[in-house]
Structure 1
Amino acid sequence: MNNQHETPEQKRERLRQEELKKNPIGTLKDGFNGNGNLADLVGSLGWKGTGILIVVLIVGYVFYKLFF
């Protein structure tokens, strides 16, 4: 892609993707600490990590409802 014809939105997204590739754990930490947003958290986890997170939340909710 030619950087001269990039819109500001495309440039921000490209820079965000480059940062995710360089430091995925830092972005994961930001997502959990509240400094990031849900898109950063899910983006750093990938589709497998996101699926595991959803399953853990559902199983935790089921156990909570069964025992409390």
Structure 2
Amino acid sequence: MSEDKETPGRRREKQRREELIRNPTGNINDAFNRAETGNLADLVASLGWKGTGILILAIIIGFIAASIFLK
């Protein structure tokens, strides 16, 4: 598909991918800002597998710490 016949959806997706390559740390900030108004699927999709793993670990550690301190 040539550049002239590119649909707006494809153009937005291409720009999003290019921005992720240029600014990977901005992706985390965008994910957390989107989480305020979005849903969990949007957060996980924008964080990627590494960010999702870190988020899950942080939640688990938080629960463990809370159970220890609130005994």
State the TM-score, normalized to the length of structure 1. Answer: 0.63
What is the root-mean-square deviation of aligned Cα atoms in Å?
A: 2.2
| Identity value in percent | 47
Distance 1:31 1:48, change over 3 A: closer
Kindly indicate whether residue 54 of structure 2 is the aligned counterpart of residue 52 of structure 1.
yes
**Deviation readout 1:15-47 (Å, 9 max, x if unpaired):** 011011001112323334x2x45243x1xxx31
Number of residue pairs the alignment of both structures matches: 62
The aligned runs of 1:34-53 (5 Å cut-off) are 34=33, 36-37=34-35, 38=43, 39-40=45-46, 42=47, 46-53=48-55
Question: Partners of 2:2 and 2:66 in 1: how far apart?
Answer: 53
Q: Give the equivalent residue in structure 2 for 1:30.
A: 30
Structure 2 residues without counterparts, runs of 5 or longer: 36-42
Structure 1 residues without counterparts, runs of 5 or longer: none
